[in-house]
Amino acid sequence: MKKVFLTVLTVYIISGIAISQTNISPYINPFPKTIAVAGSAEMEIIPDEIFVQVDLREYEKKGSGKIDIETIKAKFLNTCKGIGIPDSAISIASYQGMDRLNWLYKKHKTPDMTAFVSYQVKFSNTKSIEALIEKLDDEATQNFFIAKTSHSKMDEYRRQLKIQAIKAAKDKAGYLAEAIGERVGEAVSVNELSEPVDMGMENFQSNTMMRSQVKLRGVSASDETGVDFKKIKVRFEINAIFALK
Q: What pLDDT digit, counting tens, does each position of 177-216 carry?
A: 999 999 999 999 999 886 655 544 444 343 333 443 433 3
pLDDT, tens digit, for every residue of 17-53?
444 444 545 567 787 899 999 999 999 998 999 999 9
Contacts 24+ apart (CB under 8 A), 187-192: 187/240, 187/241, 187/242, 187/243, 188/31, 188/34, 188/241, 188/242, 188/243, 189/240, 189/241, 190/166, 190/238, 190/239, 190/240, 190/241, 191/238, 191/239, 191/240, 192/162, 192/236, 192/238
Q: What is the pLDDT of residue 82?
A: 94
At which of 126, 150, 174 does a domain end?
A: 150
What span, in angstroms and rounded, lies between the C-alpha atoms of 152 and 134? 27
Is 96 or 122 the better-scoring residue by pLDDT? 122
**Coil vs helix vs strand at 132:** helix
In a domain, 143, yes or no: yes
Same domain (yes/no): 157, 39? yes
In a domain, 7, yes or no: no
Q: What is the pLDDT of residue 11?
A: 43
End-to-end Cα distance, the chain: 56
Same domain (yes/no): 191, 216? yes
Shortest CA distance to 119 belongs to which of 164, 173, 188, 72?
72
Q: Answer yes or no: is pLDDT of 112 > 50.
A: yes
Q: What is the pLDDT of residue 228?
A: 53
Same domain (yes/no): 189, 233? yes
Torsions phi, psi of 135, nearest 5?
Answer: -110, 0
Same domain (yes/no): 223, 201? yes
Identify the domain containing residue 223 by its residue range: 32-48+152-245
At which of 99, 120, 150 does a domain end?
A: 150
What span, in angstroms and rounded, lies between the C-alpha atoms of 219 and 226? 12
Same domain (yes/no): 64, 145? yes
Same domain (yes/no): 80, 119? yes
The whole-chain average pLDDT of the chain stands at: 77
Same domain (yes/no): 239, 171? yes
At which of 131, 150, 169 does a domain end?
A: 150
pLDDT, tens digit, for every residue of 51-69?
999 999 998 888 778 888 9
In a domain, 27, yes or no: no
- Specify the number of domains making up the chain: 2
Paired strand residues for 190: 240
Same domain (yes/no): 190, 231? yes
Same domain (yes/no): 77, 129? yes
The stretch 139-158 carries a mean pLDDT of 91
In a domain, 38, yes or no: yes
Same domain (yes/no): 228, 115? no
Residue 10's pLDDT band (cuts 50, 70, 90) = very low
